[in-house]
Copies of this chain bind each other. A is one copy, B any other.
Amino acid sequence: MDESIVGTGRLEAFSDGVFAIAVTLLVLNIKVPLLSETANGAKLLAALRGQWPTYLAYVTSFLTILIMWVNHHTIFRLVRRSDNTLFLLNGLLLLCITFVPFPTSLLAEYIGHQGEHIAAAVYTGTLTVLAIVFNLLWYYAVSRRQLLRPDINLALMKRFTQVYALGPALYLLAFVLAFVHVGASIAVCVVLGVTFALPITPGAILQRGARE
């Protein structure tokens, strides 16, 4: 037995913690309009409305991290054991996840202003890298049979591989769109978030019923 292979319990707990914190820190990007700049209720309302890019960025990033968590969950329901490489790839994924609040904040600040193309490119670029790292983690995990649970439905796992592979391609499309039309670029990210949220069926990859 390869001694460098270990269980995944604390790895998952630590990752869950990082996902939960990253998703909750996003709200710190939404700033309260300064009292000194909003003389009355109407002005406050206008200021709050004017912040719509912040809310949009908030929801998009929330959705993206949540979906990434779901899919992380999917991987680790199939994986029974971890080795050094899987650990490092997971660390790389968490590095990307914890970084997300920064481009989110950048995007929120610059939408509708000069520099919004750069901000959207940094945002979609980050999500592209995130999707690539996720795919590396997935490919590595599913290509090491000794790390996986024995009761895997291989056909279904292949379908997942194909679906996940669309991620980097489509986020790259959003990245290219960022230089042309920021709204369209973010729309792609939102659609991707919602789409990837739908087929949450790790249970289906296991041939017998899943018990957790």
Name A residues whose Cβ lies closer than 8 Å to a Cβ of B.
1, 3-10, 12-14, 16-28, 30, 32-33, 35, 38-41, 43-45, 48, 58-59, 62, 66, 69-70, 73, 77, 84, 87-88, 91, 94-95, 98-102, 105-106, 109-110, 113-119, 122, 197-204, 209-212
Contacts and interface: CB of A to CB of B under 8 A. Distances in A.
Contacts of A16: 10, 13-14, 17
A58 B198 CA distance: 33
Contact of A62 (B30, B73, B98, B197): B98
Contacts of A21: 17, 20-21, 24-25
Contact of A69 (B14, B24, B26): B14
Contacts of A32: 102, 105-106, 109
30 contacts: A3-B203, A3-B204, A4-B200, A4-B201, A5-B203, A6-B200, A6-B202, A7-B211, A10-B73, A13-B16, A14-B20, A14-B69, A17-B17, A17-B21, A18-B20, A21-B21, A22-B27, A24-B25, A25-B25, A27-B99, A27-B101, A28-B101, A35-B109, A35-B113, A41-B115, A44-B110, A44-B115, A44-B118, A66-B95, A88-B197
A189 to B, nearest CB: 16
Contacts of A84: 198-201
B212 A30 contact: no
A38 B102 CA distance: 17
Nearest to A117: B41
A166 B35 CA distance: 34
A106 to B, nearest CB: 5
A5 to B, nearest CB: 6
Nearest to A38: B115
Contact of A212 (B7, B45, B202, B212): B7
